[in-house]
Structure formats: C-alpha cells, structure tokens
Copies of this chain bind each other. A is one copy, B any other.
Amino acid sequence: MTHSRFDVLGIGNAIVDVIARTEDDFLVREGLAKGSMRLIDAAEAERLYDHMGPAKEISGGSAGNTIAALAGLGARAAYFGKVAEDHLGTIFRHDIRSVGVHFETAPLHIGAADWAPTARSMILVTPDGERTMNTFLGACTHLTPDDIEADVVADAAVVYLEGYLWDPPAAKEAFRRASAIAHAHGRRVALTLSDSFCVDRWRPEFLELMRSGVVDLVFANQAEVKALYETADLDSGIAALRGDVRLAAVTLSDQGSLVVTAEKVTAVPAAPVETLVDTTGAGDLYASGFLYGLTHDFDYAACAELGGLLAAEIIGHVGARSQRDLVDLARQAGFPL
C-alpha cells in the first residue's frame, strides 16, 4: 500500500446519543426489542423522549465512535457525515474535531427546503448493560455523493463504512462513490454490518457488496453473521463468509473474536472486563483497535486483540466515546503505539 495522508476515513450517520438508564419494564411497556436499533420518525422521537428518564448527551454514531477512538489512538483519521446547523450539530462537530479528526462535511443549512435537525439516538440502557437504540435520522438522510471529498477518499488507507448508511437512500450512492474512488487508488474498503435488524433490511445488497468486491473487509457480530446467512448455526455462517469476503472480523461478546480469511479462522480471546455498565459502542471500538492494527502493520491476531482491549474499556462506562488516554491504555497492554 502506498503512503497515505489518512489511516482511516469513516463514513456514517452523524448522531448524538441521548442516553438514559432504564428498567426492563419500560422497554416492555414501550414495546421495544431489547438490544436492537430501530428507526423512528420525529413524532415518535418526541413521544419517547417525553416518556424516558433523565439523559446524558454524548456524540455518537457508529462510524463516528470508531473514528474518534482511532484518533485517540494516534491514527490519522477523517469522517464524512451530515449534521444540521443546530446545537446537536455543533456538539457533534466539536467532539469529533477536538480529537483531531478531519471533518468538513457541510452541515444542512437552516432554511433548506428539506430541513431536518441533527440526528439523535435515544439509547436506553438496562441494568444488564444492554442498550436499546431508537434513532431519528434527521439530517443524516441528506448525505449524498456530493459530500464525498474525493481527495480525502483517495488519500485514506482504509475507507470504513457503516451498514446503517444503507437506511438513508442517498447515502448508498455516496458509499458506492467512495468505494469506487478508494479502489481506483489501491485503497481498502471496510463495512460493518451494524445490527442484525439492519442486516434483515438489506441482506441481498450487503451480500452483493461483498461478492462483487465493493467491500474488502467486513466487521460483524455473531447475530449479524447469522442474520446475513439466515442460519442459527454460527459455523455455517462463518464458512459462508469465508467464500464471500477477503477478510472478516467477527465479534463474539465475552468469547472474544474470530479473524476470518479464506485460508483460516483465528480465534482471539476477549480482554478482561471489570464492570459491564453499557455495551454501547463495543463493536465500534473493536473496529477502531482492529483498523489501527491493520494500518500499522500488526498481524491479524494483534489487530483483534487491540480491538478487544478497546471494546472492554468502552463497556465499563456510559457512552461510546472514551475520555481515557487510549494510547496509554494500549501501551500498558503491551501494544507498540
């Protein structure tokens, strides 16, 4: 791979998380499927916000979390995502730029005919640390191919895309455009499957992206692999995955993760977790560690280990953006950062 200005460029839904602790009863009363991400409209967003308890606002978005932590590790990182010119948009921009990420996507202007506010995800965290997400996409649905900064894509070793981007229609085209530019410059393209419900919505398209080589590397958890191949048997899913994509990293919660290639499957144990507080961001931070390793010549097992270390850190507190010194954390665990 040739020299690049950025290690990783992330493209995703730019979202501010609104995080509240809740009891399981509340999920039942509201008819919410625990552990899932569902998309909601403005009216439902308002209704649910009225019902839920006191919250914290923390910048989020799956790829945004991944990219912020990559910057925290010292990687050179960039991000494309659509916020609006409003207070949540200001928060999102501040938080991602303040860790050194290149973020120049034009915000949706006030007065635009199709104005929508910055996206928010109301995340309900139950006592077991599981999170149930209710996302109002708002301005995210306005990310279009025009937002793809071609020079940045061309100059990023890896372009990382979230499966959630398949929900807002115009973003798909942005994603395909980015992948074409990246491949024209000899870069790699990664995709996270995001959520098993997201896989259910977009199964044929995700498989096509993998099989046609639009995507070189896939991140998924076991539920997403099973959903992708409509199987209850993880091993069958893994076997299928080996034929469909060059490289995959499959997370298995407290069982660690698997690095999957056509040649072999490598199991890497999980990092120890002190307290499980909030699983939000575990997959996102795993991808940060893995991609840091991948762009810094770690072998695959070390990529997966660093991913596991970051995932273990993020689930020890509320929110998916760490304020810890991630370089220190990685160095203390023996990684050559």
A296 cross-chain contacts in B, Cβ below 8 A: none
Q: Tell me if A49 counts as interface (CB < 8 A to partner B).
A: yes
Chain B residue nearest in CB terms to A87: B87
A319–B56 touching, CB < 8 Å: yes
Q: Tell me if A57 counts as interface (CB < 8 A to partner B).
A: yes
Which of B55, B68, B319, B321 sits near A95, CB closer than 8 Å? B55
A55–B94 touching, CB < 8 Å: yes
Chain B residue nearest in CB terms to A88: B87
Q: How far is the CA of A321 from the CA of B54 in the complex (A)?
A: 9
Q: How far is the CA of A324 from the CA of B49 in the complex (A)?
A: 19
Q: How far is the CA of A49 from the CA of B98 in the complex (A)?
A: 9
Which of B52, B57, B98 sits near A54, CB closer than 8 Å? B98
A88 cross-chain contacts in B, Cβ below 8 A: 87
Q: Tell me if A86 counts as interface (CB < 8 A to partner B).
A: yes
Q: Tell me if A91 counts as interface (CB < 8 A to partner B).
A: yes
> Interface extent on A, as a size class?
20 to 34
Which of B54, B55, B323, B324 sits near A20, CB closer than 8 Å? B323
CB distance from A238 to the nearest CB of B (A): 36
Q: Tell me if A53 counts as interface (CB < 8 A to partner B).
A: yes
Q: Tell me if A99 counts as interface (CB < 8 A to partner B).
A: yes
Chain B residue nearest in CB terms to A59: B54
Q: How far is the CA of A6 from the CA of B58 in the complex (A)?
A: 33
Chain B residue nearest in CB terms to A321: B54
Q: Tell me if A38 counts as interface (CB < 8 A to partner B).
A: no
Q: Tell me if A21 counts as interface (CB < 8 A to partner B).
A: yes
A56–B56 touching, CB < 8 Å: yes
B99–A53 touching, CB < 8 Å: yes
Known: A87-B87, A323-B20, A323-B21. A98 touches B56 (CB 8 A): no
Chain B residue nearest in CB terms to A118: B87
A49 cross-chain contacts in B, Cβ below 8 A: 94
B323–A53 touching, CB < 8 Å: yes
CB distance from A49 to the nearest CB of B (A): 6
Contact with B along A91-109 (1 / 0, CB 8 A): 1001110110000000000
Which residues of A58-92 are within 8 A (CB) of B?
A: 58-59, 68, 86-88, 91
Name which of A87, A95, A98 has the most chain B CB atoms within 10 A of its CB: A87
A319 cross-chain contacts in B, Cβ below 8 A: 56
**3 smallest A-B Cβ distances: which pairs?**
A57-B57, A87-B87, A54-B95
A-B contact list, 19 entries, CB within 8 Å: A20-B323, A21-B323, A21-B324, A49-B94, A52-B98, A54-B68, A54-B94, A54-B95, A54-B323, A55-B91, A55-B94, A55-B95, A56-B57, A56-B319, A57-B57, A57-B58, A87-B87, A87-B88, A317-B318
Q: Mark A residues whose CB is within 8 Å of B.
A: 20-21, 49-50, 52-59, 68, 86-88, 91, 94-96, 98-99, 317-319, 321, 323-324
